[in-house]
Amino acid sequence: MRILCLDVGEKRIGVAKADSNTRIAVPVGFITVDGSEWQEIARLARFNSTSSFVLGLPRSNNGNETKQTEYVRNFAKTLTQKIPEAKIYFQDESLTSVMAEERLKSRKKRYEKGEIDAEAAAIILQDFLESIKTEGQSFLSRSEAQISITPEEAPKTKGNYGKKKSKKPLKIITVVAVVVILVLLAVGGFLWVRDIRAKKRAEYYAEIEAQMKAEVFNFTILPGETIFDVKKKLTEVGYSPEEIKAGFDAEYDFDFLKGRPAGASLEGYLYGETHEFYKNSTVKEVLEVFLKEMGKVIEENDLINKYAAKGLSLFEGITLASVIQKEAKSPEQPTVAQVFLSRLNYGIPLGSDVTVSYALDVLDPNREIYTDNQSALRVDSCYNTRLHGGLPCGPISNPGLSALLAVANPTDTAYLYFLTGDDGLMYYSYTEAEHIQNIYRYCQTLCNVSL
């Protein structure tokens, strides 16, 4: 069974997950509190096939509840209204954000505030799992809420007051002395216990992180890689051909995928990034994370509307971005985008060699049939933009952010041709004659590289 942990804040909600069998908490990410958080939490619950949530319950250093505690309790009530089947477990926590930031700093990598929240959620969840282990409880047998008695609910005791007068000054001095001694003992004891707990906690999390390295793996998709590259990487981390096929053939419930032609693959929609996964994750679960990232990029950059302003559907815009990704480096991509958009508007074939190369990857990956460029350029494929006009029939790579934005915001130029010279620089021209001259001047080697 999987468990989700939420580190609830007023601006962001850190998210972590764990499997009740492995009992290792892994940070997932964070959710922005903007009104859509309930829908996202519900989606995460469906994705992880769980209705079990652990919520960090903030307390002050002396163990008292605070305004933030009340905020979390109210959040929990709303969560049960939004997700009626939700089972909520509270885990007392304090200073987890500080601990999370220290852990991120120790890794000597750049991090954002949202990553602190996710790491804090992982710490809370790991404490929860460890408390169950220590207490010898099973996850399902744990009570669903840790109820603290408030001062108003605490039992009242009656004092016995006689009529006999006492020596108040002496009693007051005695009481004060006792209180001071008790306070000093309490503070000293607290500091001593805190230091011991801090040391044990550091050792414990070092052990947990060592275990996590064995239980999880990182998977990276780079901008410009194809689904052929992704499948090869999945094989390298241990997935079987059957598992990979099942993952790519599965149905995915994302709105941005619905505008694709029937039978279209996931090419172009796996956003390049590195993510961490459990070793028992399915290929579908792996791919779904990268698809989710693509959805965020599309929404955050308003790509649907921006592509529509260029006369392109989302699918067409991503297809063009995938060609640009393979043709040019980031600084040149907006100009290359304008070249291709102009050629489309004028009815001139894109004439892109990278689309021909992709056609060969589909039809003749080992280059056993098309052994030279002359025959390759004539390959009868809907991806061959030298042979066919318009866009290729689908994306030819998974474009990165710069290529996606280049289609949305191309440079304002009138070029119709470009090439990458042997010196690595881009050369643009307005006419075919100028383009041919640029080939002779700057592209004697690269322009003859085998496709």
Residue pLDDT tens, the chain, 451 long: 789 999 999 999 999 999 877 678 889 899 999 888 998 999 889 888 899 999 999 988 777 888 999 999 999 999 999 999 999 999 999 888 888 888 887 776 667 788 899 999 999 999 998 887 666 565 554 444 443 333 333 333 333 434 444 455 566 666 666 666 776 766 666 666 556 656 656 665 565 555 555 888 999 999 999 999 999 999 999 999 999 999 999 999 999 999 899 999 999 999 999 999 998 899 999 999 999 999 999 999 999 999 999 999 999 999 999 999 999 999 999 999 999 999 999 999 999 999 999 999 999 999 889 888 888 899 999 999 999 999 999 999 999 999 999 999 999 999 999 999 999 999 999 999 999 999 999 999 988 887 7
Do 239 and 294 touch, CB atoms closer than 8 A? no
* Ranges of each domain in the chain: 2-149, 227-414, 415-451
| Burial of 351 from C-beta contacts in 10 A (0-12 / 13-18 / 19+) | middle
What confidence score (pLDDT) does residue 159 get?
39
What is the amino acid identity at position 386? R
Distance CA(309)–CA(259), nearest Å, equals 17
Distance CA(209)–CA(219), nearest Å, equals 18
Distance CA(178)–CA(185), nearest Å, equals 10
Distance CA(46)–CA(296), nearest Å, equals 18
What confidence score (pLDDT) does residue 19 get?
84
Residue 412 phi/psi, 5-degree rounding, is -90, 85
Kindly report the pTM of this predicted structure.
0.59
Do 241 and 283 touch, CB atoms closer than 8 A? no
Distance CA(280)–CA(207), nearest Å, equals 21
> Per CATH, the architecture of 2-149 is what?
2-Layer Sandwich (3.30)
